[in-house]
């Protein structure tokens, strides 16, 4: 293998490990999620008080789990389901429901 190739591979590995370590370990997602989230977003937050943001104020959210919660409910049952899911997430992540929804909006 040529020296340039070895240097390029080493640079890519270093960049990948630096980028991965700069992201939060845990993402905020729906309590029933068992599969990896297909639509993760990373956001900078002003305060790091949630405990889920890293030391740079970056927080990870599964946007897929928030999309149904951000739309206007079409029925009373849908409104109740939204409230129940938000209450579960509020308890799970120790973040108020309004703050969770605010984080999910972009």
The pLDDT score that the predictor gives to residue 32 is 87
The pLDDT score that the predictor gives to residue 23 is 56
Q: What residues does 27 pair with on adjacent strands?
A: 60
Residue 79: what are its φ and ψ, rounded to 5°? -65, -45
The pLDDT score that the predictor gives to residue 88 is 93
Query: What are the mean pLDDT values of the chain's consecutive 10-residue runs (106 residues total)?
Result: 51 46 72 90 72 73 92 95 93 88 85
pTM of the model: 0.66
Q: Compute the distance between CA of residue 46 and CA of residue 5 in angstroms, rounded to an integer.
A: 41
């Amino acid at each position: 293998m040529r020296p340039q190739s070895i240097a390029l591979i080493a640079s890519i590995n270093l960049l990948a490990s630096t980028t991965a370590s700069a992201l939060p370990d845990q993402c905020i997602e729906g309590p029933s999620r068992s599969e990896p989230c297909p639509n993760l977003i990373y956001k900078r937050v002003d305060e790091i008080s949630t405990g889920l943001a890293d030391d740079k104020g970056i927080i990870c959210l599964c946007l897929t789990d928030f999309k149904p919660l951000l739309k206007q409910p079409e029925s009373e049952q849908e409104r109740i389901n939204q409230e129940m899911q938000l209450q579960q997430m509020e308890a799970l992540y120790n973040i108020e429901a309004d703050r969770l929804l605010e984080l999910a909006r972009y």
